[in-house]
Copies of this chain bind each other. A is one copy, B any other.
Amino acid sequence: MNELMSTEQLIYLFDVAGVAVFAITGALAAQGKKLDILGVVVLGIVTALGGGTIRDITMDVHPVIWIADTTYLWTAIVSAVSAFILCRYLTYPRRLMLLLDALGMSLFAVLGAQKAIALNMPPVIAVMMAMITGCAGGMIRDILTRQIPLILQRNGELYATCAMLGAIVYVAMSGLIEDSMLMMISITVALVVRLASMYTGLE
């Protein structure tokens, strides 16, 4: 894969994919709340772009990600609308939502660490940025829909841990392995640990 595209392209692809899956979780979280389509889109956008916005503002990176490139905003809108249409008659798909949330969290955590390292931040800040980018959007979603935030639920016990694990792998090995390979390894670590914690006795 990294023979076919540059690291920049891979980062962009992962960023857009993270936005799409988080926007879908926002739309799914709106299920059963009698929201109109725009309420669903708002929830999708906030979930998808909330983490990256807080990360960019905190590190004084301007313009923030979705102002610099409106692709992210359109991706969030289209993903939320599609999920709204497809899922209208389904009951609340808790399992699918947890799966997509795990994927979005893994992608965003590693991308957050990657951006901090690229800005020469110290390792502990990179880990913080990973957790902000990976966890903040989902937390805002859960607060708005009055769910107990996943990060504070029993099923979500290892939520922040997985974001941190992915970030630590990335930060520790940064510069030692080729960057796009390292990103894929770190994302896989975060995702596998999260899924394992969801589907085993920890659940």
The answer to whether A160 and B67 have CB atoms under 8 Å apart is no
Q: A124 to B68: give the CA distance in the assembly, Å.
A: 12
Q: Give per-residue flags for A127-169: 1 if the beta carbon is below 8 A from chain B beta carbons, else 0.
A: 0100100010001000111101101101001111100100000
Answer whether A157 and B35 are a contact pair too, CB < 8 Å, given A124-B73, A125-B73: yes
Question: Is A196 in contact with chain B by the CB < 8 A criterion?
Answer: no
Question: Is A94 in contact with chain B by the CB < 8 A criterion?
Answer: no
Chain B residues near A145 (CB-CB < 8 A): 152
Question: Is A95 in contact with chain B by the CB < 8 A criterion?
Answer: no
Q: A152 to B124: give the CA distance in the assembly, Å.
A: 34
Q: In whole Å, how far is A198's beta carbon from the nearest beta carbon of chain B?
A: 14
The answer to whether A157 and B39 have CB atoms under 8 Å apart is yes
Which chain B residue shows the least CB distance to A49?
A: B128
Copies, count: 3
The answer to whether B146 and A148 have CB atoms under 8 Å apart is yes
Q: A135 to B45: give the CA distance in the assembly, Å.
A: 14
Q: A107 to B160: give the CA distance in the assembly, Å.
A: 29
Which chain B residue shows the least CB distance to A197?
A: B36
Task: For A38, give its contact among B124, B139, B161 (CB under 8 Å).
Answer: B161
- Interface segment among A17-25, A57-65, A175-183: the answer is A57-65
The answer to whether A144 and B154 have CB atoms under 8 Å apart is no
Using A59-B63, A60-B62 as known contacts, list a sample of 17 further A-B pairs with CB atoms less than 8 Å apart, ordered by residue number in A: A35-B157, A36-B157, A36-B158, A38-B160, A38-B161, A38-B164, A39-B159, A42-B131, A42-B151, A42-B160, A53-B58, A59-B67, A67-B121, A70-B122, A73-B124, A139-B144, A144-B149
Binding site for B on A (CB under 8 A): 33-36, 38-39, 41-43, 45, 53, 57-60, 62-64, 66-67, 70, 73-74, 121-122, 124-125, 128, 131, 135, 139, 143-146, 148-149, 151-152, 154, 157-161, 164
